[in-house]
Amino acid sequence: MRMFKPAAYKDEIEDPTIVKKQYQYFRIRVFYSMFIGYAFYYFTRKSFTFAMPALISDLHLDKADLGIIASIWAIAYGLSKFVSGIIGDRSNARTFMAFGLLVTGICNIFFGLCSSLYLFALFWGLNGWFQGFGWPACARLLTHWYSQSERGRWWSMWNTSHNIGGAVIPIITAFFAQYYGWRSAMIFPGVVSIIMGFFLLNRLCDTPQSLGLPTIEKFRNDYPTKSAQEGKERELSVKEILFEYVLCNPYIWLLAVSYFFVYIIRIAVGDWSILYLVEQKGYSQLQAGSIIFWFDIGGIFGSLVAGWASDTIFSGKRVPMCIIFSLLVTCVLLFLGSFNEKVMLVDSCLIFAAGFFIYGPQMLIGMAAAELSHKKAAATASGFTGWVAYLGAAVAGYPFGKITQEFGWSGFFIALAFCGAVATMLLAPLWNVRTRDEGIFKPRDVEPIKGTEDEETVEATS
């Protein structure tokens, strides 16, 4: 665990010209590094989804078998998101993120060499566990390098990274699966991701303070609250992070439960739609992959619009856009389930719309969790909500496989629309909330932290 130790803080640079120049350079470098890195997390994550039809035809697995594998992955990933979030808040984001990507690549290679359902479940479960190292590291970086008034735009641009990975992987994996077999479709992304893990080790940085720079709030004079401006930034203990700012925070629970239903929709549409298009509408595997390509393209635009609107129209409030998008994706899903004609253009547009509206709340709920907890608890808060979300992703696996087997594809889409309606209702009480220090729930004691860091904090930060 020593390699995950946070980078030590350096003496703060006094020259404002150097500080400005360094901040401009490292903000761009950190951004493109984690953008590329997280895209390749998705390169290994989504490969199984688009190998599913080949697994059914080659190894005679049924929908329930595939659902079991998908659910194990989701449970492992969700639990890892929470555990790695706690570790990630007190770890070096550079080594933490790079290590996770390296190991997921190895898991993909081993998956591609297996033929047993039990080994598939084992290696895909391990893949899910180490996939959990990506999001908390990025949450830590985004809250330390970008301040609140601009974070919606930066976070939304970063969020498109997994849409890029998710959009490219259907074409590549479907091509490999159709012409070279499903094994190559698993192994190739694994090899590339190992290479990209070393890229992250070379390019990523930890916090601004580890480079001798002031905090982002001080640099941009952009403090979310008056107490934050008056206080001295320090590292929090695990107990403070976990209990005061996450588990005893009512905001986080409302966001987490709504995230559960949002992720059922996101994962179910992403994982099962290609099978729906092949089985129900008669598209070839490559045609279906070309249609699903638009799901993540829609997600790119949806994330950017949601992030921009939350910054500019709603002044840093993240939840209003979540509510609007959740309501609209419910309508899209009902129409998608009722449109039975095989029209590639219409199907592509509907998949695009589903991606556009579901990726808005998928991105903003995680950001809201980071902002409504504490800057030093961002990875834990987003990890906890992510864990609950991936319990929903697990429901999108085996349970939705059974729903489809018993009630057909119409039952599948009705169940998804119900999830969208529930998510909308759960988010409604948080419409007017922007920070933890305001709104319907008040933190019990918010006081500025004065004085110097104690010995325990110095030891933790070094």
pLDDT in tens, 146-197: 887 788 888 888 888 877 776 676 677 777 777 787 888 889 889 989 999 9
Q: Where are the domains of the chain?
A: 2-440
At position 209, the amino acid (one-letter code) is Q
CA 92: distance to chain centroid?
19
> CA triplet 90, 131, 129: central angle to 5 degrees?
85
At position 135, the amino acid (one-letter code) is W
Hunting for tokens 């190559």 — which residue is that? 184
Band (233; pLDDT cuts 50, 70, 90)? low
What integer is the mean pLDDT of 76-98?
A: 84
* pLDDT (0 to 100) of residue 420: 92
Residues 91 and 380: beta-carbon distance below 8 Å: no
Q: Which of 130, 68, 83 is nearest to 105 (CA)?
A: 130
pLDDT in tens, 299-315: 889 988 988 888 888 87
What integer is the mean pLDDT of 435-446?
A: 48
> Helices marked H in 113-181 — which ranges?
117-131, 134-145, 148-179
Q: Is 168 exposed, middle or buried (0-12, 13-18, 19+ CB in 10 A)?
A: middle
Band (287; pLDDT cuts 50, 70, 90)? confident
CA distances from 217 to 126, 207, 442 (A): 38, 13, 23
* pLDDT (0 to 100) of residue 336: 86
* pLDDT (0 to 100) of residue 30: 94
Band (437; pLDDT cuts 50, 70, 90)? low
pLDDT in tens, 315-368: 778 889 999 999 999 999 998 888 888 888 998 999 999 999 999 898 888 888
Residues 446 and 227: beta-carbon distance below 8 Å: yes
Which letter, b or e, does each residue of 201-219 get, where b requires 16 or more Cβ atoms within 10 Å of its Cβ? bebbbbbbbbbebbbbbbb
Residues 101 and 196: beta-carbon distance below 8 Å: yes
* pLDDT (0 to 100) of residue 425: 92
Mean pLDDT of the chain: 82
Which residues contact residue 440 at a Cβ distance below 8 angstroms, ignoring those fewer than 6 apart? Answer: 429, 430, 433
* pLDDT (0 to 100) of residue 439: 45
Residues 413 and 264: beta-carbon distance below 8 Å: no
Residues 37 and 204: beta-carbon distance below 8 Å: yes
Residues 254 and 388: beta-carbon distance below 8 Å: no
Residues 381 and 250: beta-carbon distance below 8 Å: no
Query: Cα dihedral angle (372, 375, 376, 382), rounded to 10 degrees?
Result: 50
pLDDT in tens, 36-77: 999 888 888 877 776 777 777 788 887 778 878 887 887 888
Hunting for tokens 């070096």 — which residue is that? 92
**Could you name the CATH architecture of 2-440?**
Up-down Bundle (1.20)
At position 380, the amino acid (one-letter code) is T
At position 55, the amino acid (one-letter code) is L
pTM, two decimals, is 0.70
